């Protein structure tokens, strides 16, 4: 992370408004503008922010929206539309959608929604995931995992890899009865279906 990027992340993490942040810059370097600072001065600002409680994340996917984005990315991989499941591929996608380099800098809900909505729209367009809600749906189909798994099953049905009517039995065999499935139960089913989809695509 560059010093300049770290400063912006630190300001958000510490809850500093623009005037308060500029006061800190001036106290540390004598300058109120980041643009006027040398790299050494930027580093001094970061050090002061660390002293104030800033804790930069250094490894892996970090940030308040990272887990949701990673779960959707792996789901898209299990649907057969993402070819590279690595975090680096997800980060490249996030940057294309938001202009933000890393999930640890993705702190604003509106920015995160750009990536989340784009990913969900891609999953609908390319794999038929139906995200709609409604009272007409059976209770088990109100979870995201169920919606994704059902789309996976439809893809396998189109590939003639499964019995169109075998979804309920498959879920029971790999997890528990369909009507007892909770959100936390679906990843095991989605992962198994993902293996089947990748085999069907490569066949």
Question: Both 109 and 145 in a single domain?
Answer: no
Give the number of domains in the chain: 3
Long-range contacts formed by 31-39: CB under 8 A, 24+ apart: 34/4, 34/7, 39/3
| Same domain assignment for residues 25 and 79 | no
Rounded to 5°, the CA angle 131-136-139 comes to 75
In tens digits, the chain (203 residues) has pLDDT values of 678 888 998 998 888 999 999 999 999 999 999 999 998 899 899 999 989 888 776 566 888 999 999 999 999 999 999 999 999 999 999 999 999 988 988 889 999 999 999 999 999 999 999 999 988 899 999 999 999 999 999 999 999 999 999 999 999 999 999 999 999 999 999 999 999 999 987 65
Provide the pLDDT for residue 44: 93
Q: Is the same domain home to 98 and 120? A: yes
Is residue 123 located within the same domain as residue 144? no
- Please name the residue that has the structure tokens 């189109």: 158
Domain range enclosing 183: 139-202
| 120, 143: one domain | no
Residue 24's CB is within 10 A of a number of other CB atoms, namely 20
**Does residue 12 lie in a domain region?**
yes
The residues, ordered by sequence, that sit 6+ positions from 19 with a Cβ below 8 Å of its Cβ are none
pLDDT value at residue 114:
96
């Amino acid at each position: 992370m560059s010093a300049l990027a770290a400063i912006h992340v630190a300001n958000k993490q510490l809850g500093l408004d623009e005037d308060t942040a500029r006061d800190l810059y001036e106290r540390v370097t004598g300058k109120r503008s980041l643009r006027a600072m040398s790299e050494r001065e930027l580093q001094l600002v970061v050090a002061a922010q660390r002293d104030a409680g800033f804790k930069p994340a250094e490894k892996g996917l970090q940030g308040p929206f990272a887990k949701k984005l990673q779960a959707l990315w792996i789901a898209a991989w299990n649907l057969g539309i993402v070819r590279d499941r690595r975090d680096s591929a997800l980060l490249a996608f996030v940057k294309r959608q938001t202009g933000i380099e890393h999930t640890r800098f993705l702190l604003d809900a509106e920015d995160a929604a750009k990536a989340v909505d784009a990913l969900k729209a891609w999953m609908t367009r390319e794999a038929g995931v139906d995200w709609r809600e409604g009272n007409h749906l059976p209770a088990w189909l109100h979870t995201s995992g169920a919606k994704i798994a059902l789309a996976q099953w439809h893809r396998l049905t189109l590939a003639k890899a499964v019995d169109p009517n075998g979804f309920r039995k498959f879920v029971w065999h790999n997890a528990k009865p369909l009507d007892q499935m909770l959100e936390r139960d679906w990843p095991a089913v989605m992962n198994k279906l993902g293996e089947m989809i990748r085999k069907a695509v490569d066949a």
